[in-house]
Structure 1
Amino acid sequence: MLNNYRQQMSCSTESPESSIKICIAMTPEEKREIYRFRYQTYIEEMSKHPEEVDYDSKLLYDEMDEWAVLLYAKVNSEIIATKRVNIGTIADFPKKILGFLSLETFQNFNTEHGERKFAYITKVMIAPAHRSSPVLYLLIAKCYEICCHKHVQFIFGACNFHLLHLYEHLGCRRYCKNFHHSGYGLLAPIVLLIEDIQYFRKVRSPLFRIARNRGVLNTKAIEWFDTMVTNNLPSINSQIIKEEELWSILCKRLNCLPTEAITLLHGLSEAAAKKFLHSCGIVVQCYPEDLITVQGDVSYSYNILISGRLKSLTFHRPIKEYITPGQHFGANGLTEHNKHREDIAAISSAEILVLSGICFQKFHRSHPDIAHKIVQNSISLTRKSYLD
């Protein structure tokens, strides 16, 4: 049945405003092009070191590609983005993925369509020149359409912290503890509920336009999720929290104004600092032994500890020099893409403020004066760190 649906969906859908075509890979040649595009993005550009790499042929693939739906976007004949979705029962997924995503928790939810099916999205990659285009939304929309057809209620994924702001805007929710994936770093599990229409509306998800046209919705999955999952692991959603609320939380955690504790904000007015933090920041909960930065990995965010304690596993420091609330740690990935120089892990439950470089690019266009001051501060801090 899945093969038949692949044939039906393999005809491209085109976005007239950008000439982006979304396709499903059907041939070995198409799949090989995707594997090569993955290698170029993850290995050559991002300097990641996943286990499943064919360095000789410059291809990135693994056993889950054998039963996945491989989506890709192209402009003319050039692949500009790709995404993989695996749809199956809990028995189809490797044990390590069941553990990472806590899939067995979702077995408790009853479904009207026989054996429960889950969707797992991975290998999402976009070429640098198209990361501000609508291509991610087009891929998500196609995936959403496929999962609706297969009666999937939950679409799972995981992302690095700097992408949480983006995925929460699309309609995803955080729901369980982070996990470390070799070659990809510390990841936050996320889930998108197919019929979460009110939530889509609340976070202004572009999926709302599709979801509201699906007719009568079954809200049982949403009610179950809110009762069993959300209440047990609350998080600060970047799309729901208001500027004043985020500012108040940071003041409480830091025991002072963020403009006093966070050197990156020095010289900004309170109003400007609030706008910047709300537009680019997301609060993430970490747990003891979470490895937050990995030496040699490219940074895409600017991280600030706001509660708890962290330590370097690379450079042994006295206890009094452990990273404490208000301090920046790791490489600057907000205004440039530097590589982390040390492994840093949590030694207690901790919260970090992640300032996303992706969000900062958009913020720079809409608030250039504030962004310019942030860039100036980051340059000064970088010079100081090298002198130290």
Structure 2
Amino acid sequence: MGKEGLLNKENYMVPRNDEVSIHVAHSQAEKREIYKFRYRVLAEGMGKFIKKNKQNFGMISDCMDEYSQLLYAQSNLGIIGTLRVMFGNMGQFPQDLTKTFYMEKFQTLVDGSNQTFCLATKLSIEKKYRGSQVLYMLTAKAYEMIRTNHVKFTFTGCNPHLIPLYEQLGFRKFSRNFTDPGYGLLVPLIMVVEDVEHFRAVRSPFYRVARELSNDNQWGQAFLHAFPEAARYINSQLIRKDDLWKIVTKKLGESPLAAVPLLAGLSQDESAVLLHSGVVVTCYEADCLVSPGEVSNEVFILLTGALLTDSAGVQRLIQPGESFGGTGLTEPRPQYATISAAADSEVLVIPRQGFERFCRRQPQAGHQIIRNLRLTMPVGMHPVRLKAVKGGMGRE
């Protein structure tokens, strides 16, 4: 069994008297409102570094918008969410993306050179609606369009702290990370559109829809045959808590209780629950995990390899067991150092959303984690503030 679902029914609620509907933008006026919404959410709300110019100031748009379907969620308040999906054969996508997602290799898995792929990007949701049904409604509409266009493989990329969310939708890690200017380190993900058994295993919200359609299991098998390395990536929705504890122990070479200062004062069970709220991510030499000014939404724990931190010209190596990035564990906070991989490494990423769920169940342990973060925080970083979290965690 996997961990508790991020998209279960209790998370589908929206505020009362707030009707939400999903639309596909057709007019230029609709598209401009989407571009403005992206800017408010991604640049102003999430601190993404978007290159500005006189033509697009206050908006986020690029050349792919011209060839994509722009979905948006509308409520009484206006646009509250949007998602872009682009359909086409390999030659219609930007060359750098075809290389990043190995589209040529995927094309050999199907008959004919005109195989339609889908690239899903620019997912943005108004803050008060995150954790509501809006995400499901947008992605369900996208999945419906994907099936209508007879797509076998859908690609996307996300920041490490969002991997558990995408893995529950049915995406999987399969390749090396890449960097998109303004968005930071991104992990490439693939959805095998007709792999109903995988949807069932991760409890994807698409499972009930997909099982009623005609599906061919060969695509899931073909994917694993072409990308055998994908099987070594740990899926956050499939790994058991106790199994993850054993894996982390093996990677660290000793119990996490002894190796990870962040866990000081916690029991093994509390620590195992906390680690299980995260995801193991592989990063490669020269990958930049954190840049100055980037907004943090997670804490990283180094498991293997070595990372280099550079703060105002002062450099040091981060060793296995050490944590960093924890300023964003209770609220989005900017980072003040550059942290990059000095060698191929593995980190365990605990998203803020996962930590907040942990605190609601185990408030005292959550309180201890915040204390530990304060003690282990590098010089020059903002102090972590205790934030009121449902379940009893309060301010000092």
**What TM-score, normalized to structure 1?**
0.89
What SS does the corresponding residue of 1:226 show, helix, strand or coil? helix
Whether the 8 Å CA contact 1:330–1:341 is kept in 2: the answer is: no
- CA offsets per residue over residues 303-324 of structure 1, 9 Å max, x none? 1111001112455557xx4111
Q: Quick check: 1:193 aligned with 2:184?
A: no
Q: Quick check: 1:338 aligned with 2:336?
A: no
Q: Which residue of 1 aligns with 2:306?
A: 309
What displacement does 1:385 show?
A: 6.8
In structure 2, give the amino acid aligned to 1:88. Answer: G
Q: Which residue of 2 aligns with 1:297?
A: 294
What displacement does 1:372 show?
A: 3.0
1:171-210 mapped onto 2 (5 Å cutoff): 171-210=170-209
Whether the 8 Å CA contact 2:303–2:348 is kept in 1: the answer is: yes
1:167-316 mapped onto 2 (5 Å cutoff): 167-214=166-213, 216-231=214-229, 234-279=232-277, 281-316=278-313
Work out the CA distance in 1 between the residues paired with 2:379 and 2:180. Answer: 33
Q: 1:250 to 1:232 in 2, by over 3 A?
A: closer
Q: 1:386 to 1:139 in 2, by over 3 A?
A: closer
Work out the CA distance in 2 between the residues paired with 1:355 and 1:200. Answer: 23
Whether the 8 Å CA contact 2:174–2:229 is kept in 1: the answer is: no
In structure 2, give the amino acid aligned to 1:347. Answer: A
Whether the 8 Å CA contact 2:25–2:70 is kept in 1: the answer is: yes
Work out the CA distance in 1 between the residues paired with 2:181 and 2:377. Answer: 29
What SS does the corresponding residue of 2:368 show, helix, strand or coil? helix
Q: Among residues 317, 326, 329, which one is paired with 1:322 in the alignment?
A: 317
Q: 1:366 to 1:27 in 2, by over 3 A?
A: farther
In structure 2, give the amino acid aligned to 1:143. Answer: A
Q: Which residue of 2 aligns with 1:136?
A: 135
Deviates more, 1:97-106 or 1:268-277: 97-106
Q: Which residue of 1 aligns with 2:3?
A: none
Q: Quick check: 1:353 aligned with 2:353?
A: no
Q: 1:54 to 1:237 in 2, by over 3 A?
A: farther
Work out the CA distance in 2 between the residues paired with 1:117 and 1:43. Answer: 32
Whether the 8 Å CA contact 1:89–1:118 is kept in 2: the answer is: yes
Q: Which residue of 1 aligns with 2:96?
A: 96
Q: 1:206 to 1:52 in 2, by over 3 A?
A: farther
Q: Which residue of 2 aligns with 1:109?
A: 109
What SS does the corresponding residue of 1:332 show, helix, strand or coil? helix
RMSD between superposed Cα atoms in Å: 2.4
Number of residues paired by the alignment?
370
In structure 1, give the amino acid aligned to 2:334. Answer: K
Whether the 8 Å CA contact 1:331–1:341 is kept in 2: the answer is: no
Whether the 8 Å CA contact 2:335–2:381 is kept in 1: the answer is: no
What SS does the corresponding residue of 1:87 show, helix, strand or coil? strand
In structure 2, give the amino acid aligned to 1:275. Answer: V
What displacement does 1:296 show?
A: 0.8
Work out the CA distance in 2 between the residues paired with 1:88 and 1:53. Answer: 29
- CA offsets per residue over residues 178-217 of structure 1, 9 Å max, x none? 0011111010000111111101111111111111111x32
**What TM-score, normalized to structure 2?**
0.87
Q: Which residue of 2 aligns with 1:61?
A: 61
Work out the CA distance in 2 between the residues paired with 1:83 and 1:186. Answer: 20
Q: 1:33 to 1:387 in 2, by over 3 A?
A: closer
Work out the CA distance in 2 between the residues paired with 1:125 and 1:232. Answer: 27
Q: 1:387 to 1:359 in 2, by over 3 A?
A: closer
1:143-182 mapped onto 2 (5 Å cutoff): 143-182=142-181
Q: Which residue of 1 aligns with 2:363?
A: 368
Q: 1:366 to 1:72 in 2, by over 3 A?
A: farther
What displacement does 1:162 show?
A: 0.2
- CA offsets per residue over residues 314-364 of structure 1, 9 Å max, x none? 55557xx41110111235221222211111111111001111112223333
Whether the 8 Å CA contact 1:107–1:116 is kept in 2: the answer is: yes
In structure 2, give the amino acid aligned to 1:168. Answer: E
Q: 1:108 to 1:313 in 2, by over 3 A?
A: farther
What displacement does 1:275 show?
A: 0.9
Whether the 8 Å CA contact 2:326–2:373 is kept in 1: the answer is: no
Whether the 8 Å CA contact 1:38–1:60 is kept in 2: the answer is: yes
In structure 1, give the amino acid aligned to 2:78. Answer: E
What displacement does 1:15 show?
A: 8.7
Whether the 8 Å CA contact 1:309–1:347 is kept in 2: the answer is: yes
What SS does the corresponding residue of 1:72 show, helix, strand or coil? strand
Whether the 8 Å CA contact 1:335–1:378 is kept in 2: the answer is: no
Q: Which residue of 2 aligns with 1:30?
A: 30
Q: 1:378 to 1:293 in 2, by over 3 A?
A: same
Work out the CA distance in 2 between the residues paired with 1:324 and 1:223. Answer: 38
Q: 1:54 to 1:20 in 2, by over 3 A?
A: farther
What residue ranges of structure 1 are gaps of 5+ in the alignment? 1-13
Deviates more, 1:372-381 or 1:303-312: 372-381
Deviates more, 1:41-50 or 1:330-339: 330-339
Whether the 8 Å CA contact 2:25–2:69 is kept in 1: the answer is: yes
What SS does the corresponding residue of 2:348 show, helix, strand or coil? strand
